[in-house]
Structure 1
Amino acid sequence: MPTSQTTDAPRPEETFAAAEAAWQRGETHTARTLCERLIAANPHDANALNLAGLIESGRDPLAARALIGRALAEREDPLFLVNFAMTCQRAADRDIAIRALHRAIELLPDFPVAHNNLGHLYGEAGDCAQATRHFERAIALAPAHAAIHFNYGTMLHKAGEFARAEALLRRTLDLAPGHVDAWNNLAQVLLATHRTPEALSMLEHAHKLASDSVDVLTNLGCVLLGAGRIDEAKAALERALERDPGRVSAWNNLGNLLMQTGHIDEARAAFDRAIAIKPDFADAHINLGNAHSKSGDIGEAIACYRRAMACHPAGIGAHSNLLWSLMFAVDDGHALRAEAEQFSARHESALLAASEGAHYANTPEPARRLRIGYVSPDFRHHCQSLFTTPLLRHHDHAAFDIVCYSLGAKADEVTNQLRSFADIWRDVHDFDDARLARQIRDDRIDVLVDLTMHMDGARRLLFAQRPAPVQAAWLAYPGTTGSPSIGWRLTDPWLDPVGAAHIDDQYTERSLRLPDSFWCYDALAPGVDVNPLPAQSAGHITFGCLNNPCKLTEATLALWSGVFAALPESRLLLMAPPGRARERLAARFAAHGIDPARVSFVGFQGRTDYLRTYGRIDIALDTFPANGHTTSLDAFWMGVPVPTRYGRSAVSRAGLCLLANLGLPELAASSDAGYVAALTSLARDLPRLAALRAGLRARMQASPLMDGARFASNMEAAFRHMWKAWCTEQRAAPGAAS
Structure 2
Amino acid sequence: MTSFTRAVAAENSGNLEEARARYLEVLQAEPQNPRALHRLGMVELRLGRPREAVILFQKSLSIAKDLEVYLDFGAAMAAMARWDATAAVYAAALRVAPASVDAHYGLALALHRQGRPQDAEPHYRQVLATHSHLGEVHNNLGVALQDLGRFAEAAAAHREAARLDPADAAAWSKLGVVLHRMGQGVEAEAALRKAVGFAPQDADNWHNLTGLLDAAGRSAEAFAAGRLAVALDPASARNWLALGNAARAGERREEAWRAASAAVRLEPSDPAARNNLANALRDLGRLRDAVAHYRAALDLQPDFPVAEINLALLLSSLRDADGALAVLMALLARQPDNGEAWRRLGGVLAEAVRPDAAVAVLRKAVALGPGEPDVHADLAMAAAMAGWSSVSVDACRRVLRLVPDHAAALGQLVHQQRLVCYWRDLDRLEEALLRRVRAGAEGVSPFDVLSCASTLADQQSAAARWAAAKARGAVPVARPAAVVRDGRLRIGYLSADFREHAMGHLMVDALETHDRSHFAITAYSTGIDDGSALRRRFERGIERFVELRRHTDADAAQAITADGIDILVDLTGFTTFSRTSILAARPAPVQVNWLGYPGTLGAEYVDYIVADPTVIAPGEERNFTERVVRLPDCYQPNDRRRSIAEATPTRADCGLPADGFVFCCFNSAYKLTPALFDGWARILAAVPGSVLWLYAGNPQVIANLRREGEARGLESNRLVFAKPLPHAEHLARHRLADLFLDTLPYNAHTTASDALWAGLPVLTRRGTTFAGRVAASLLRAAGLPDLIVDDQEAYETAAVDLARSPDRLRDLRQRLARNRPDCPLFDTPRFTRHLEAAYRAMWDIRQGGGAPRPITIAAGDTGGPKSAIQGEGEAR
TM-score, normalised by the number of residues in structure 2? 0.67
Q: Does 1:50 align with 2:140?
A: yes
Amino acid at match of 2:301: A
1:307-456 paired onto structure 2 within 5 Å = 313=441, 315=442, 317-318=443-444, 320-321=446-447, 324-325=450-451, 329=453, 335-336=455-456, 339-340=459-460, 343-344=463-464, 368-408=487-527, 412-413=531-532, 414-429=534-549, 436-456=556-576
Cα deviation, residue 29, structure 1: 5.8
- Tell me which residue corresponds to 2:410: 285
Aligned to 1:88, what secondary structure does the other structure show? helix
Q: Do the aligned partners of 2:742 and 2:763 also contact (CA within 8 Å) in 1?
A: yes
Q: State which drifts further: 557-566 or 461-470.
A: 461-470
Identify the match of residue 596 of structure 2 among 455, 464, 476: 476
Cα deviation, residue 215, structure 1: 1.0
Asked which structure has the greater CA Rg, the reply is: 2
Q: State which drifts further: 10-19 or 712-721.
A: 10-19
- Tell me which residue corresponds to 1:180: 305
Q: Do the aligned partners of 1:262 and 1:577 also contact (CA within 8 Å) in 2?
A: no
CA distance in 2, matches of 1:684, 1:732: 51
Q: Do the aligned partners of 1:403 and 1:426 also contact (CA within 8 Å) in 2?
A: yes
Cα deviation, residue 629, structure 1: 1.0
CA distance in 2, matches of 1:411, 1:102: 60
CA distance in 2, matches of 1:408, 1:214: 30
Amino acid at match of 1:145: D
What is the root-mean-square deviation of aligned Cα atoms in Å? 5.1
Deviations, residues 86-127 of structure 1 (Å, cap 9, x unaligned): 652335446856957346769976444455456546655767
Deviations, residues 650-706 of structure 1 (Å, cap 9, x unaligned): 544433443455455554444545544543344346698799989989975675545
1:235-246 paired onto structure 2 within 5 Å = 235-246=360-371
Deviations, residues 573-610 of structure 1 (Å, cap 9, x unaligned): 3346868877776676678x553645547598475596
Cα deviation, residue 213, structure 1: 1.3
Amino acid at match of 1:50: N
CA distance in 1, matches of 2:316, 2:551: 11
Amino acid at match of 1:419: E
Q: Which runs of 5+ in 2 are unaligned?
A: 1-93, 197-202, 208-228, 854-869, 872-876
Q: Do the aligned partners of 1:567 and 1:680 also contact (CA within 8 Å) in 2?
A: yes
Q: Do the aligned partners of 1:203 and 1:220 also contact (CA within 8 Å) in 2?
A: yes
Amino acid at match of 1:397: R
Amino acid at match of 1:271: C
Q: State which drifts further: 600-609 or 265-274.
A: 600-609
CA distance in 1, matches of 2:535, 2:191: 57
- Tell me which residue corresponds to 1:63: 153
Q: Flag the 1:483–1:30 CA change in 2: closer, same or farther, 3 A.
A: closer
Q: Flag the 1:616–1:33 CA change in 2: closer, same or farther, 3 A.
A: farther
- Tell me which residue corresponds to 2:639: 521
Aligned to 1:270, what secondary structure does the other structure show? helix
- Tell me which residue corresponds to 2:340: 215
Cα deviation, residue 628, structure 1: 0.6
Q: Flag the 1:422–1:206 CA change in 2: closer, same or farther, 3 A.
A: farther
- Tell me which residue corresponds to 1:16: 108
Q: Higher relative contact order at CA 8 Å, sep ≥6: structure 1 or structure 2? A: 1
Q: Do the aligned partners of 1:323 and 1:340 also contact (CA within 8 Å) in 2?
A: no
Q: Do the aligned partners of 1:57 and 1:87 also contact (CA within 8 Å) in 2?
A: no
Q: State which drifts further: 158-167 or 148-157.
A: 158-167
Aligned to 1:565, what secondary structure does the other structure show? helix
Identify the match of residue 383 of structure 2 among 251, 254, 258: 258
CA distance in 2, matches of 1:603, 1:63: 69
- Tell me which residue corresponds to 1:3: none
CA distance in 1, matches of 2:657, 2:618: 48
Q: Do the aligned partners of 1:546 and 1:575 also contact (CA within 8 Å) in 2?
A: yes
Amino acid at match of 2:513: H
Q: Does 1:572 align with 2:692?
A: yes
CA distance in 2, matches of 1:345, 1:233: 27
- Tell me which residue corresponds to 1:530: 648
1:454-493 paired onto structure 2 within 5 Å = 454-458=574-578, 463=583, 467-477=587-597, 479-481=599-601, 486-492=606-612
Q: Do the aligned partners of 1:281 and 1:308 also contact (CA within 8 Å) in 2?
A: no
Q: Do the aligned partners of 2:104 and 2:126 also contact (CA within 8 Å) in 1?
A: no
Identify the match of residue 227 of structure 1 among 352, 360, 364: 352
Q: State which drifts further: 377-386 or 485-494.
A: 485-494
Identify the match of residue 249 of structure 1 among 374, 382, 388: 374
Q: Flag the 1:165–1:242 CA change in 2: closer, same or farther, 3 A.
A: same
Amino acid at match of 1:260: M
CA distance in 2, matches of 1:588, 1:714: 45
- Tell me which residue corresponds to 2:223: none
Amino acid at match of 1:210: Q
Cα deviation, residue 219, structure 1: 0.7
Q: Do the aligned partners of 1:290 and 1:301 also contact (CA within 8 Å) in 2?
A: no
Aligned to 2:523, what secondary structure does the other structure show? strand
CA distance in 2, matches of 1:504, 1:17: 72
- Tell me which residue corresponds to 2:840: 720
Q: State which drifts further: 270-279 or 569-578.
A: 569-578
Identify the match of residue 542 of structure 1 among 650, 658, 662: 662
Q: Flag the 1:141–1:600 CA change in 2: closer, same or farther, 3 A.
A: same
CA distance in 1, matches of 2:852, 2:656: 66
Amino acid at match of 1:222: G
Amino acid at match of 2:748: G
Aligned length: 712
Aligned to 1:318, what secondary structure does the other structure show? coil
CA distance in 1, matches of 2:119, 2:709: 69
Amino acid at match of 2:750: T
Q: Do the aligned partners of 2:415 and 2:448 also contact (CA within 8 Å) in 1?
A: no
Amino acid at match of 1:101: D
Amino acid at match of 1:140: R
Q: Flag the 1:440–1:258 CA change in 2: closer, same or farther, 3 A.
A: closer
Q: Which runs of 5+ in 1 are unaligned?
A: 1-5
CA distance in 2, matches of 1:181, 1:732: 45
Aligned to 1:203, what secondary structure does the other structure show? helix
Aligned to 2:387, what secondary structure does the other structure show? coil
Cα deviation, residue 454, structure 1: 4.2
1:634-645 paired onto structure 2 within 5 Å = 634-636=754-756, 640-645=760-765
Identify the match of residue 101 of structure 1 among 199, 204, 227: 204
Deviations, residues 512-546 of structure 1 (Å, cap 9, x unaligned): 32456622136867758433456995222333323
- Percent identical: 26
Q: Do the aligned partners of 2:513 and 2:828 also contact (CA within 8 Å) in 1?
A: yes
CA distance in 2, matches of 1:269, 1:69: 48
- Tell me which residue corresponds to 2:864: none
- Tell me which residue corresponds to 1:680: 800
Q: Flag the 1:634–1:695 CA change in 2: closer, same or farther, 3 A.
A: same
CA distance in 2, matches of 1:533, 1:581: 22
Q: Do the aligned partners of 1:360 and 1:469 also contact (CA within 8 Å) in 2?
A: no
- Tell me which residue corresponds to 2:65: none
Q: Do the aligned partners of 1:88 and 1:97 also contact (CA within 8 Å) in 2?
A: no
Amino acid at match of 1:595: L
